[in-house]
Amino acid sequence: MSASEKILSLTVNGEPKRLLVKTHWMLSRVLREEIHHTGTKEACGEGACGACTVLMGEKAVLACMTLALEAEGKSVETIEGLMSAKNPHPIQEAWMEEFGAQCGFCSPGMIMSAKALLLRNPDPTLGEVREAMAGNICVCSNYEHIEAAVLSAARKMREDGAQNG
């Protein structure tokens, strides 16, 4: 192991991982190239578009702006972790119903941002959705459909929560 390499231990979608990384590698690179979770996208590489959004703990972070080593000991959730068995998460269901994806390249990051929002605010207003998601760019400019998907997912998750609770 050279001076520019380190062992990184983290949990990705509930699975513990231990791997050798270069110290300058970004989390997006490690997720995509080393762990082969290519659902996390990289579109700008400079934190301007949100395509690489993943959850670290319950917080949305930009994987292209996060050094991989910052994830040491952390729990990272990517789009691949959202399905439960073969069932889509309510946010994914809402995305399909409301046609939240056009080309789909922004969808993984967009959906992870939506999850972070709904974890901290289960009943957002339209304005709150727009503000929380404004760092996620959709160049198909499908924003009205995405807003509808987030609001519909929020309803669904509140109802599911009420039933389970």
Partner 1 sequence: MANNFKVLGKSVHQKTALERVNGSARYYSDFQIPGTLVTRFIRSPFPKAKISRLDTTAAETLPGVELVMSYKNFPQTFRDTMHYVGEQVVAVVAVDEDIAEEALELVDVEYRELPAVLSIEEALAPDAPEVFEGEPNCHDWELHYYLSEKDPESGLWTKKEHANFHGFGDVEVGFAESDVIVEAKGLKYAYTKSPAMNPRGALAHFNSGKLTVYTHSQGMHHEKTVLAGVLGLNVTDVNYVCEYIGSSFGGKIAEPSDINHPTHYLIVACLASLELSKPVRCVYTREEEMLCGWSRGSLSDVKIGFKDDGTLHAISYDNWMEMGSGGDKWTIKNSLLATGTTLYSRNCKHMRGKLRYVHTNRFLSCGWQGYGAPEGHYGVEVAMDMAAEKLGIDPIELRRMNHMRGGDIDAGYDPLLYKSCYISSSGISECLDALEKRSEWKSRWRHPSEKSGRYREGLGIAIFCMGAGRPGPGNNTSAEVKLFPDGTAKLYSALAEMGQGQHTVQCQIVAEVLGIPYKKIGLVWQETDSTPWASIAASSIGTWLQSWPTYEAAHEVRRQLLALAAGVLGVEVEKLDIEDSVIFVKDEPSRTLTIGEAMGTLGIYGGTHELIGYYSHEVPHPRCLRDGKPGQLYIPKEKGAQLVSLVVDTETGMCHDVKVINAQDVGRALNPKIVEGQFLNARHGVENALLGSDCIVDKKSGRLLNGNWIDYKPTSFLDCDIDPIIIEKPGDPTHPFGATACGEGAACPTLAAFSNAIYNAIGVRIKETPFTPDKILAALGKV
CB of 69 to partner 1, least distance (A): 17
| Structure-token pair, residue 50 | 């949100």
Nearer residue to partner 1 within complex by CB, 6 or 45: 45
Nearest C-alpha neighbor of 49 from the set 34, 33, 65, 37: 65
Closest contact distance (angstroms) between CB of 25 and partner 1 is 10
Pick from 23, 67, 65: which is nearest to 44 by CA?
Answer: 65
Our finding on whether 143 is near partner 1 (CB under 8 A) is yes
Question: Cα-flanking dihedrals φ and ψ of residue 42, to 5°?
Answer: -130, 120
Which amino acid does the sequence have at 57?
Answer: G
Phi/psi of residue 48, nearest 5 degrees: -100, -10
Tokens 């809402």 belong to which residue? 94
Number of H helices, E strands in the chain: 5, 5
Contact indicator for 71, 7 with CB cutoff of 8 Å: no
124 in contact with partner 1 (CB under 8 A): no
Q: What are phi and psi of 114, to 5 degrees?
A: -65, -40
> In the set 62, 63, 133, 151, which binds partner 1 (CB under 8 A)?
133
Three-state SS at 100: coil
Nearer to partner 1, 71 or 79 (CB): 79
CB of 100 to partner 1, least distance (A): 7
Position 101 contacts partner 1 (CB under 8 A): yes
- The SS3 call for residue 37 is coil
Footprint on residues 26-65 left by partner 1 (CB under 8 A): 32-33, 36-46, 48-49, 51
139 binds partner 1 per the rule CB under 8 A: yes
| Of 104, 119, 155, 156, the one binding partner 1 by CB under 8 A | 104
**Is residue 152 a contact point for partner 1 (CB under 8 A)?**
no
Binding status of residue 129 toward partner 1 by CB under 8 A: yes
Residues that bind partner 1 (CB under 8 A): 22, 32-33, 36-46, 48-49, 51, 78-80, 82-83, 88, 92, 95-108, 111, 129-131, 133-147
